[in-house]
Amino acid sequence: MTSTDPPPRHTRQRAAVSAIMTTLDEFRTAQDVHAELRQRGEAIGLATVYRTLARMAADGEVDSIRTPEGVAAYRRCSAGHHHHLVCRECGRTVEITPPDLEAWTEQVGREFGFTHLDHELELFGRCPDCG
C-alpha cells in the first residue's frame, strides 16, 4: 500500500470522464455522469464510470461527498479541500472553510506519529427555512 500503485492507463473512456468533469461545476453522481456521457454520444459502461470516478477521487483528481440521501457525488477538485454545513431537514448545503484545520491535522499527526493524514468534517443543523 505504501508503494506505487500502477499508474492508470490512457483510454478513451477515462479521457471522456476526465473531460466532462472539467466542464462541470456542481456535484454530479456517477449515474449523472454516465447519462451525460451517453447523451453526448460516448459509448461507455456504467461500471466504468463508477470505477473511473472512484479512482480519480482516490488520486485526488476530483472531490467526493455523500449527499444526505447517501449517494456519492463528485466534482472537479477546486483548490483546497473544503467542508459543508448541511440542513438535516431539507438537505440544503453551504460550503464552509474552517480555519487552521489543515495545520491542526498535521500537528496531531506528528504528535501521535500518524502519516498520510486526511480529515472529514461536516456540520449539521437546521437551516433558516426549516425553522
**Binding footprint of DNA on the chain (CB under 7 A):** 6, 8-14, 29-31, 43-48, 50-52, 54, 70-72
Q: How far apart are CA 131 and CA 120, in angstroms?
A: 27
List phi, psi (to 5°) of 43: -90, 110
What secondary structure letter does DSSP report for 18?
A: H
Residue 109 interacts with which of DNA, a second copy, none, CB < 5 to 8 Å by class: a second copy
CA angle in degrees (0–180, nearest 5) for 19-23-29: 85
Contacts (CB under 8 A) with a second copy, residues 93-112: 94, 96, 98-99, 104-105, 108-109, 112
User: Considering the rule CB under 8 A, would residue 90 count as an interface residue with a second copy?
Assistant: no
User: Considering the rule CB under 8 A, would residue 124 count as an interface residue with a second copy?
Assistant: yes
Residue 106 interacts with which of a second copy, DNA, none, CB < 5 to 8 Å by class: none
Closest C-alpha to 69, from 26, 127, 109, 29? 29
Q: Which residue has the cell 479541500?
A: 81
Q: Which residue has the cell 459543508?
A: 84
Query: Total residues at the site for a second copy (CB under 8 A)?
Result: 41
User: Residue numbers of the site for a second copy (CB under 8 A)?
Assistant: 1-2, 57, 63-66, 68, 70-72, 85, 87-89, 94, 96, 98-99, 104-105, 108-109, 112-128, 131
